[in-house]
Amino acid sequence: MAVNIKTKPLLLFLLAFTLNATDEKYLLALKAYYDDNRSNDAQAITLLSKAAAKERNADAAFLLAVAYSEGDIVPKDLKKALFWYESAAKLGDKDAMLSAGWLYYKGEEIKQNLEKAKMWFQKAAKLGDQDAAQMAGFIEEITQE
């Protein structure tokens, strides 16, 4: 079953509570992120940033990337989204690898870079993502013409 960008954070939230996660900052960030109180959005971003950067939490980095990609709780900023997708990808998050690849491939707000796109797609493909494998192959074909 593929997990899309909009459902992954909710699944992570449920999983964290199911597993009695010990990362208190991350759990507080999730609570602030998902509540309906817009005044907690800044706190959510701050806590997610700390969990992602200091504690090397791939899920927090991915959620930050989603926040910056969608622009719901922070202004949309694909450069910041790419930074956090790459941070999560470097920690082994396959969905982040795929998302970073797409951002480099599309080249919206950031310079298109087919080599970096192919690299991230190949890494996600090695973890079993068939869409990423197809995109890596496609980029290989169009860059050899």
**For the chain, which residues make up each domain, given as ranges?**
8-143
Which percentage of the chain shows pLDDT scores above 90?
62
Q: pLDDT (tens digit, 9 = 90+) per residue, 106-133?
A: 999 999 999 999 999 999 999 999 999 9
Span 8-143: which CATH code?
Answer: 1.25.40.10
Q: Which helix (H) or strand (E) holds 145?
A: none
Q: pLDDT (tens digit, 9 = 90+) per residue, 1-34?
A: 344 455 555 555 555 554 444 467 777 787 888 7
Alpha helices by DSSP H, listed for the chain, are 8-18, 24-34, 41-53, 58-70, 78-90, 94-106, 114-126, 130-143
